[in-house]
Structure 1
Amino acid sequence: MAAAPAPPGVYQRASETADYLRSTVPAELRSPKVAIVCGSGLGGLADTIHAEPVFSTPYSNVPNFPQSTVVGHAGKLIFGLIGPAKLPVMLLVGRAHFYEGHEMELVTFATRVCKLMGIETMIVTNAAGGLNPDYEVGDIVLLNDHLNMPGLMGFHPLRGPNVDEFGVRFPPLSDAYDLELRQRVHKAWQKLGLGQAKRRLHEGVYAFVSGPSYETRAECRMLRTFGADVVGMSTVPEIVVARHSGIRVLAFSLVTNKAVLEASTRGDEAAIQNMSKQELDEYLSKGKANHEEVLEAGREAAKDMQALVKQVLSDLGAA
């Protein structure tokens, strides 16, 4: 009996998807140079593009595309124009996560498609917990490095046979976060006068963890000791694959909650001995993260994030 044919590889599947999009998206929009990945609660970045022309389609209509199941991730592709120069852009409103049960190859599949669509620059956004005590909820962090915790444990997006059509076997990542693009962000921040508001712009290190549970107090302290400023459950696999494919990367984290770094209260502490069960629960839950708060913080800061991304892209288009 003849062996069953091998399933198509990631390059073939990504090529099929890119061919489908090129045959479906209107001609004036089908050659974007910039892709924007919209993280939790940041789908409003789609409002930065011109009202017309626009092409939008749910991920479910796109061959081979992963489906996002998380609240706050709309799961749709949008092609449009942005800024005075009408720069063509491709927006991924929502993403697939490793914690949803997707393999890393599927988590990063959209990034591969971006490469085959001609994307040269990718802007990646996420909602993250603030580990750096100087960060406040609503601050924006421009990423300049990362800790790939699952990757160090063997769950690396480039694990397995190298796909030579995209990049080399051992890509360097010391230059993952484009310095010239980060310069543009700081200039755009000043140009927009956002530094005069309560919200601040930082540069920092993102720790990628697999999730879906939020980190324990001990895990937060460990990550902070390792040098992380923010922590989240996405972004790094996309960045690794983007750099493997030669795409320039600009990445932002929106601080949506402050991680709890203090050690847990001991059960024999005198201060809690006369507390009721309800009082004990309230005492322990101070600072506890939840997804609804993440989405709300995203809505609060969305306008500044949108303005910043739009200004950077407008400057790029005019360059």
Structure 2
Amino acid sequence: MDYRNKTRVTEFILLGFQTEKEVEILIFSAFLLMYMISLIGNTMIILLVCVDYRLHSPMYFFVANLSFLEVAITSTVVPKMLANTFSLTKAISFMGCLTQSIFYFLLGSTEFFILAVMSFDRYIAICNPLRYTIIMNTQTCIMLLVGSYLGAFLSMLSPSILTAPLIFCGPNKIHHFFCDRAPMLQLACTDISLAEVADFISSAVLLLGSLLLTGVSYTYIVITILRIPTVQGQQKAFSTCVSHITVVTIYYGSSIFLYVRPKKGNAMSINKFATVLNTVVTPMLNPFIYSLRNEKVKESLRDTTSKYIGMLINVRAQK
């Protein structure tokens, strides 16, 4: 069929949750609250890692970068979703939709590489502690970080190249609250089979590949911990991994459900719930997972807060 004479879509309609107005207001309030908590909490972690020398270690370097990615991902999706709640058109431009999709998957893919790198960091710390500072030096940490962004870029390059030239000339309503690639592909007027296969393969390789690396690291970690002669020593070693394991479980569970399966355009209500877990709930919980379970972070937060409150009192006293 010749699509050259058909009118191309210049904007998409993000249908969101399609509920009663009262429920939409409730959803808006809940998402706004979670977004603000996520911004404040993750920014707090980034600042603590930057200003407190006690947190100048590879583990907290990667935690700070994970927090940055959480802020970036939620800011890519949530503000537009909140704006569309009270919008009559709920529209987003074609280029805006494509840009949102690209940044969402680029940042999200980087997170999985960072999580795999963090598991490698825990592996070195527990299984090879005497050489930890030598192996995980500044240069290595920076190379691993750059490699995470490069790997994410390469993993989404093929699906993006195949999606960008597709022709959209029919319905323009996306049954989601952001420009997810799967429901967007369903609106194309041309054959999308190649793009779907590329999307599935890249998602599978990224998620299952990084999960395999994480799994191998934790297999060696568990073996090493079990060899520790005292229960107290085992608990202390394992406690350094609990926060990371919690985040890994949430991320991989929801993401594998969303992206590593064929025909991802179905069951959109379930997909929306899983996406909310990834883009809103987990970024909000991330600061609590890494701070409330970590004595060093809690101590840093107390000391930094006391320091700046004291400075503020002194400044006011001098006026």
Q: TM-score, normalised by structure 2?
A: 0.24
Bigger-Rg structure (1/2) = 2
More strand by share: 1
More helix by share: 2
